[in-house]
Structure 1
Amino acid sequence: MRPSHLLLAVLVAAVWGVNFTVIDIGLDHFPPLLFSALRFLVAALPAVFLVGRPKVAWKWIVAVGLTLGVAKFGLLFIGMDAGMPAGLSSLVLQIQAVFTALFAAVALGERPTGTRLLGMLVALAGIGVAAVDEGASGPLGAFLIVIGAAACWGLSNILTRKAAPPDALNWMVWVSTVPVLPLLALSLLTEGPSADLAALRGFDWAGAGTLLYVAWGATVFGFGAWGWLLRRHPASTVAPFSLLVPVFGMSSAALFLGESVSPLRWCAAALLVGGVALTTLTPGRREAGAEEAVVPVPAPESATPAVGSGTR
């Protein structure tokens, strides 16, 4: 990999990691579901008029839009709004790799190797340590909500692999069109019109900056650059850079939000990142006759590679 390409891969990981801190700041300006809806609206417009027609069937765009956009990001934003720290969220969300492996075993016939099973156990041990740490110092309910977001992300990884999008940016932009109305409807029902209107009336430069960052920075730039790298290098070369996301996530949260990192959290980080590396970067066995897995592109809030692909 050329030095310029290497720097681009690190930059994308940094953008995705810092994104958790930006989300935390944005939640001071918007209710979580409204913030998520606006994020996808800004990501989709005007990009949807520039990326061309969808290159996969609409059933996959809708399925991933609901699973990833509404369920995963809705739960992530709710969990962080309920008190889940930004740095810890960037770390805990990596457990999606274990969920992806489990779903892949059921839906795609992938039989995990011994190394991959060991990675899952190590990652789960990291989640256990993180849960103990968070249970002692923060809201455990918010922690579990983010775990639920990771499970939804794992399911969306399987749907993405079935869809096999040939263009990462085109795919993400069209997927971003799906969650806007469902998230707005859920926001009106659960957060209330008065809270949404108050947030929109109080719209300021700080709120606009967070929206632009999560939509254009983490989504449009992140996906476009990551897909560009994947078209020029093997997935196994690009994928390891995604493991830097929680490093940047925890560091930026400590620097800009003053979040402390306890010894237990460092232990959880080491176990989780190590387990995810074993789980995602180790090829899995497939049942005879099973279709080859395609390389999905990771979701912008945490770019850990999906299982068996080498690329979140």
Structure 2
Amino acid sequence: MRPAHLCLAVLVAAVWGVNFTVVEIGLGHFPPLLFSALRFLVAALPAVFFVGRPKVAWKWIVAVGLVLGVAKFGLLFIGMDAGMPAGLSSLVLQIQAVFTALIAHVVLGERPTGVRLAGMAVALCGVALAAVDEGTGGPLGAFALVIAAAACWGVSNVLTRKASPPDSFNFMVWVSTVPVLPLLGLSLLTEGPARDLDALRALDWRGAGIVVYVAWITTVLGFGAWGRLLHRYPASTVAPFSLLVPVFGMSSAALFLGEPIGPLRWGAAALLVGGVALTSLAPSRTTRATVRPADGPTRDRIGEPA
């Protein structure tokens, strides 16, 4: 990766890490599915009226919107609401890197090298070490929901790579329009109209600020930048940077929520950073298939533009 893209990947990880603390606070204001619906509603409006028409086929927008917006975030928010603490959630969710690499291998033909596999193993050891330090922290069902959310994130990473949107900001805004109605419908069915109305009536400046952060900073800007990286690099190169998210997630949870960080946790952070460094510097073996656009240079369907 180029240095600027390395910095962008780390910045996105920081934004997403802090987001777990923000979500934990936000779940004290809103039911989980309503909270997720508001997130995407604010992310989509009014931006959708200014970004222009979608630049990829609607099938990709709908697919990513349902998998990322409804499935991944719905499961994550429900899991955290059911008892998974912010720090532990930021750890467990990072198993998505393994799901992404496996799906990318099957769907995109991206075969990680031995060095990259070793880097992922080191980073995942860091996740395991931090998980041992903290323990499950909540009901087994909540833990399983976050694992399922991680699998959905892996699917959405590969779908985004497959869609290869030329304008990731445009793509993320349009993707954000898809989950709103399904999440609102699920909220009304499972959380109930009375609970939703009570949460909306009690909305204050703090609650509004939380929605704006998770909508614009983490969703539109964060996933827009992530999509740009996936457009330029193989999914198995980009995905491991999400393993930095627990470093920022645990730090922000300790600072704002009082979750402790002991020596084992710091050791886990060192393993995560080292593993990500190995993974990002190692080249990947990909199945090559090139096309030459009528007005531009040859581009690799799987790898970086030539």
1:292 aligned partner? 301
Distance 2:35 2:65 in 1: 16
Q: What TM-score do you get using the length of structure 2 for normalisation?
A: 0.82
Distance 1:219 1:5 in 2: 18
- Residue 67 (1) aligns with residue 67 (2): yes
Kindly indicate whether the alpha-carbon contact (under 8 Å) linking 2:21 and 2:256 is maintained by their aligned counterparts in 1: yes
Between 1:207-216 and 1:220-229, the stretch displaced more is 220-229
SS at structure 1 position matched to 2:91: helix
Deviations 1:93-122 (A, max 9, x none): 222111110111111222221122223433
Distance 1:159 1:230 in 2: 10
Change (3 A) 1:3 1:154: closer
Change (3 A) 1:121 1:229: closer
**Structure 2 residues not aligned, in runs of 5+:** 291-299
2:29 aligned partner? 29
1:144, CA displacement in angstroms?
A: 2.7
Aligned 1:1-312 pairs, distance under 5 A: 12-135=12-135, 137-223=137-223, 244-279=244-279, 281-287=281-287, 289=289, 292-293=301-302
Change (3 A) 1:63 1:112: same
Distance 2:226 2:159 in 1: 19
Between 1:182-191 and 1:153-162, the stretch displaced more is 182-191
SS at structure 1 position matched to 2:218: helix
SS at structure 2 position matched to 1:22: helix
Change (3 A) 1:127 1:255: closer
Distance 2:262 2:211 in 1: 30
Q: What TM-score do you get using the length of structure 1 for normalisation?
A: 0.80
1:43, CA displacement in angstroms?
A: 0.2
Question: After TM superposition, which residue ranges in structure 1, 4 or more long, deviate above 4 angstroms?
Answer: 1-13, 223-231, 238-244, 288-291
Identity %: 77
Kindly indicate whether the alpha-carbon contact (under 8 Å) linking 1:93 and 1:146 is maintained by their aligned counterparts in 2: yes
Distance 1:281 1:63 in 2: 31
Change (3 A) 1:2 1:69: closer
**Structure 1 residues not aligned, in runs of 5+:** 296-308
Distance 2:4 2:124 in 1: 35
1:134, CA displacement in angstroms?
A: 4.3
Q: Which amino acid aligns with 2:111?
A: R
Change (3 A) 1:241 1:287: closer
Between 1:35-44 and 1:181-190, the stretch displaced more is 181-190
1:185, CA displacement in angstroms?
A: 1.3
Change (3 A) 1:198 1:88: same
Change (3 A) 1:19 1:294: farther
1:303 aligned partner? none
Change (3 A) 1:294 1:87: farther
